[in-house]
Chain A
Amino acid sequence: GENVEQHPSTLSVQEGDSAVIKCTYSDSASNYFPWYKQELGKGPQLIIDIRSNVGEKKDQRIAVTLNKTAKHFSLHITETQPEDSAVYFCAASLTGGGNKLTFGTGTQLKVEL
């Protein structure tokens, strides 16, 4: 089955700096890669996703890149703000495989003032 590794497990940045979270996956057939943000006391919420036919996708301050050859994808947050502090999860899925997501182990991001 799919295995997703995520690094780092914790990340502390100063407000205004950029943050990068990296994930690798094992199943070359996976073709959908969402990112979820989990705030304290809440369930995860989708913030951005990327499909295998695209190398990069941006939405305001967040962007995701995908390298299918190397089987890794990354989340980039620019101009970080205190409200970006949360746990971030990457995930991988094979469409047609029941839409089951395999999640990474999570990254605790702390944005310090």
Chain B
Amino acid sequence: EADIYQTPRYLVIGTGKKITLECSQTMGHDKMYWYQQDPGMELHLIHYSYGVNSTEKGDLSSESTVSRIRTEHFPLTLESARPSHTSQYLCASSEAGPYPEQFFGPGTRLTVL
């Protein structure tokens, strides 16, 4: 069982609210990732980090921002939520190395009304 946690698991919020999705891992992994998962299942990388104070944008443009102040913590923030942000958000982590397994959290299902 992977030790990566996401909170909340479900969130229903009104338009314009600021939200932070939490992701923590206890495996000491340097690399962490955020994916957005469509209702049609496809996974899109929106942010990743190689370590503390490192953040990069992924392949899919996103209005969210991330921070990496501690190795174990990689929160994602939306300053002003909109209905188009409604989706499943998955956090993952991996070791450094050429063939790293990514360990995924259970996801946060976000609904913006």
Contact = CB atoms under 8 A, between A and B. Distances in A.
Contacts of B104: 36, 42-45
B102 A98 contact: no
B59 A46 contact: no
B42 A105 contact: yes
Given A32-B98, A95-B98, A103 B105 contact: no
Interface residues of B, number: 28
Given A43-B90, A44-B43, A99 B100 contact: yes
B107 A99 contact: no
Contacts of A87: 41
B45 A100 contact: yes
Contacts of B96: 99
B106 A43 contact: yes
B54 to A, nearest CB: 10
B74 interface: no
Interface residues of A, number: 26
B81 interface: no
Contact of A41 (B4, B42, B56, B106): B106
A92 B56 CA distance: 19
Given A41-B106, A45-B104, A51-B99, A99 B31 contact: yes
A105 B41 contact: yes
Interface in A17-54: 32, 34, 36, 38, 41-46, 49, 51
B32 to A, nearest CB: 11
Contacts of B94: 99
Interface of A: 1, 32, 34, 36, 38, 41-46, 49, 51, 87, 89, 95-96, 98-103, 105-106, 108
Given A100-B58, A106-B42, 4 more contacts: A45-B104, A100-B48, A101-B45, A108-B41
